[in-house]
């Protein structure tokens, strides 16, 4: 299997059209003692077969404590890579190796190393949406759930580089009143929300609360009634007395919002064009068919150099420890 040829990031094997993927996935998970972890941005059918659905922090915590022999990560590459770093002895599978991330891609290790060297007295906090190479160059990893608490936990005079998301960095900087050196990276999905269209939607639905992910630009966040990670947005929509929400993040989260609050209305915020651009094209590469093939053939597998895994582990563990204390 090591020499297997992937076609477009997965085994791309012709499957029998009669196969019931849901049934087969459940059977193979049980038989091989697999835990299927899925991010909220996965399609509804994948969320329905997952053992755990969560945001980046929840998924990393779940990966850390799993007793399963195999982890199948229905998310993007940096998430599966994080699960592998936390479990070097386990097999970690991803349905499609090409499920990348524009934000992780916006921070190449060579350039980041030079950037870090130009700010020698700074501590490096990196958002988990980055490659293992960037994690290895960082002091602490954070997610959108714990970035604020982690930055606030550092001494006031500690100089900070925040990478790679400039929008999350600017939001944390504004909340804490701390200046941080920001890497100029962004998520292609969260950068596409259009302010004028959002305001028009708000005029049409004046009773709706705007809830947004902090990867959005400041001009969008300025109009949000609540800002938080995908899990925080979901929890807010459950707790709020409001009955209508304009949701400014990837549309996958709307499935759990609607499931948890069937009496409420959730409206996806519009992007600045007519395509389905608030769907993450990387997250949406995963399908039930690819999950079935991955479980059956135990490929594609995340394979990493031991030294890279060792170097990138400490900053992730620091995040998990701080999260337990602070969040
Ligand atoms: P969270 O999972 O932290 O909400 O981040 C969203 C995201 O863009 C994941 O790629
Ligand atoms: Fe990356 Fe953005 Fe997709 Fe998340 S939504 S995986 S940050 S491109």
The per-residue pLDDT for range 153-208, each reduced to its tens digit, is 999 999 999 999 999 999 999 999 999 999 999 999 999 999 999 999 999 999 99
Decide: 323 in ligand 1 pocket, CB within 6 A: no
Residue of the CA atom closest to atom 10 of ligand 1: 129
Helix H or strand E encompassing 245: strand 244-248
CATH of 195-268, one of 3.10.20.30, 3.40.50.620, 3.40.710.10, 3.40.50.10800: 3.40.50.10800
Neighbours of 128 (CB within 10 A): 28
Decide: 107 in ligand 2 pocket, CB within 6 A: no
Decide: 130 in ligand 2 pocket, CB within 6 A: no
Pocket test for ligand 1, best of 144, 165, 214 (most atoms within 8 A of CB): 144
> How far, in Å, from the CA of 166 to the mean position of ligand 1?
14
Using the 8-state DSSP alphabet, how is residue 284 labeled? G
Q: Find the angle CA(205)-CA(174)-CA(126) to the nearest 5 degrees.
A: 105
CB of 266 closer than 8 Å to CB of 48:
no
Which of 183, 182, 178 is closest to 157 using CA atoms?
Answer: 178
Confidence of residue 6 (pLDDT cuts 50, 70, 90): confident
Decide: 143 in ligand 1 pocket, CB within 6 A: yes
Which of 11, 7, 6 is closest to 291 using CA atoms?
Answer: 11
Q: Per residue, what are the HEC states of 178-240?
A: CCCEECCECCCCHHHECHHHHHHHHHHCCCCEEEECCCCCHHHHCCCCEECCHHHHHHHHHHC
Q: Where in the chain is the domain with CATH 3.40.50.10800?
A: 2-99+282-303, 103-187+310-326, 195-268
CATH of 2-99+282-303, one of 2.30.42.10, 2.170.190.11, 3.40.630.10, 3.40.50.10800: 3.40.50.10800
Confidence of residue 276 (pLDDT cuts 50, 70, 90): low
CATH of 103-187+310-326, one of 3.40.50.300, 3.40.50.2300, 3.40.50.10800, 1.10.1240.10: 3.40.50.10800
pLDDT at 7: 84
Mean pLDDT of 229-234: 98
- Helix axis angle for 288-297 and 21-32, nearest 10°, is 30
Pocket test for ligand 2, best of 76, 77, 249 (most atoms within 8 A of CB): 76
This prediction has a pTM of 0.96
Flag whether pLDDT at 128 surpasses 60.
Answer: yes
Place of tokens 């804490």: 176
The per-residue pLDDT for range 247-273, each reduced to its tens digit, is 999 999 999 999 999 999 999 998 776
pLDDT at 275: 67
Flag whether pLDDT at 90 surpasses 90.
Answer: yes
């Amino acid at each position: 299997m090591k020499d297997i040829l992937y076609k477009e990031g997965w085994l791309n094997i012709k499957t029998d059209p009669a196969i019931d993927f849901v049934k087969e996935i459940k059977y193979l998970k049980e038989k091989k003692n697999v835990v299927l972890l899925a991010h909220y941005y996965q399609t509804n059918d994948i969320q329905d077969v997952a053992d755990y659905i969560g945001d980046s922090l929840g998924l990393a915590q779940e990966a850390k404590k799993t007793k399963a022999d195999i982890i199948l990560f229905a998310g993007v590459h940096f998430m599966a890579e994080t699960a592998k770093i936390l479990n070097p002895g386990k097999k970690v599978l991803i349905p499609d190796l090409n499920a990348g991330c524009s934000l992780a891609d916006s921070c190449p290790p060579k350039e980041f190393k030079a950037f870090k060297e130009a700010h020698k007295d700074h501590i490096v906090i990196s958002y988990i949406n980055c490659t293992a190479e960037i994690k290895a160059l960082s002091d602490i990893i954070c997610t959108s759930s714990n970035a604020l608490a982690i930055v606030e936990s550092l001494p006031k005079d500690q100089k900070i580089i925040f990478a790679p998301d400039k929008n999350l960095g600017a939001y944390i900087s504004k909340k804490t009143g701390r200046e941080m050196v920001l890497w100029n990276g962004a998520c292609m999905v969260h950068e596409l929300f259009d302010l004028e269209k959002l305001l028009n939607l708000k005029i049409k639905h004046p009773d709706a609360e705007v809830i947004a992910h902090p990867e959005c630009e400041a001009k969008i966040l300025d109009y949000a009634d609540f800002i938080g990670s995908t899990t925080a947005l979901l929890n807010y929509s459950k707790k709020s007395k409001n009955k209508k929400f304009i949701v400014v993040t990837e549309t996958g989260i709307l499935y759990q919002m609607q499931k948890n609050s069937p009496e409420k209305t959730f409206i996806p915020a519009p992007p600045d064009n007519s395509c389905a651009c608030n769907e993450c094209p990387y997250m949406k590469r995963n399908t039930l068919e690819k999950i079935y093939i991955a479980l059956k053939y135990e490929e594609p597998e995340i394979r990493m150099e031991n030294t890279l895994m060792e170097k990138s582990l400490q900053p992730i563990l620091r995040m998990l420890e701080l999260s337990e204390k602070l969040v």
